[in-house]
Each structure stands twice: as C-alpha cells, then as structure tokens.
Amino acid sequence: MRYPATLKPEDGGYVVTFRDIPEAITQGESLEEALEMAADALLTAMDFYVEDRRTVPPPSAAKRGEHYVPLPPSAVAKLLLLNEMIEQRVRPIDLAERLGTTKQQVTRLLDLHHTTKIDAVGDALAALGKRLEMATAII
C-alpha cells in the first residue's frame, strides 16, 4: 500500500498532505526530510483508524506531481485484517474466540507498533475466511 502525497513548498520547506488520509499532515525542511516525515505521519494516522475501528481507504493512483509514500508490510497486513473485521462486523472478542486466544492477543495483532509474526496475521485472516498473499513488485 502506497499512498500519494502532495508536497507543497512553504516557508523554505515542504508541507505534506495525503488526499486519501486527511489525518496525515506533516512537514520537512528538505524534500528528503519531508518524505521521511510523511512516512511517519502516514503510519501515525493509521493508528486513528485502528483506534476508531474505521475502514482504511485504499490508496488512489498518484496524480501528476505527487509522490508515493509506502506503509511497512507488517502494517499493511494488520490494516487488511482491520478492514476485514469491520466488513464482517467481527469484534476483537469474536475473533479471539475463533482463534482460541484472548481479546488482548487480537488487540496486539492490530497494534501497528507491536511486533507480530506475519503468520499470526495470516491465521487471523484465515479465521475470517480470507487468505493473506504477498507478492513482490520491482518499482
């Protein structure tokens, strides 16, 4: 998942915004710093979606002049799990029962800053009738 970002020159630096994720706003003194800060702002904004149990919108195609900012693969897997739980109206306690674990374990599965084995996210998706597949892309 790569989200398009707009970098607007302002006051000797750049202000970064994401049209798909309006909660993510940041800035940097240089283009490189702005893009680095953008990655952090994007991941931080995703925390709001997890906390509020809101569906994360898919990234749209970049428009002319926009830069793609990727999310870490572990966060992508967890956000896919979140979206599937919301779509199926499955609460963390319900998923915990399906997995034979605790609600706290499911909460950790959705925590974007908690290190989680990818297999655990795959197992959770399987409990929802989905399969996690990964592919490589050379860009």
Cβ atoms < 10 Å from Cβ of 11: 8
The helix (run of H) or strand (run of E) holding residue 76 is helix 73-88
Q: What is the pLDDT along the chain (139 residues), one digit of tens a residue?
A: 899 999 999 888 999 999 999 999 999 999 999 999 999 999 999 999 999 999 999 999 999 999 999 999 999 999 999 999 999 999 999 999 999 999 999 999 999 999 899 999 999 999 999 998 887 765 5
Residue 102, classed as helix, strand or coil, is coil
pTM: 0.87
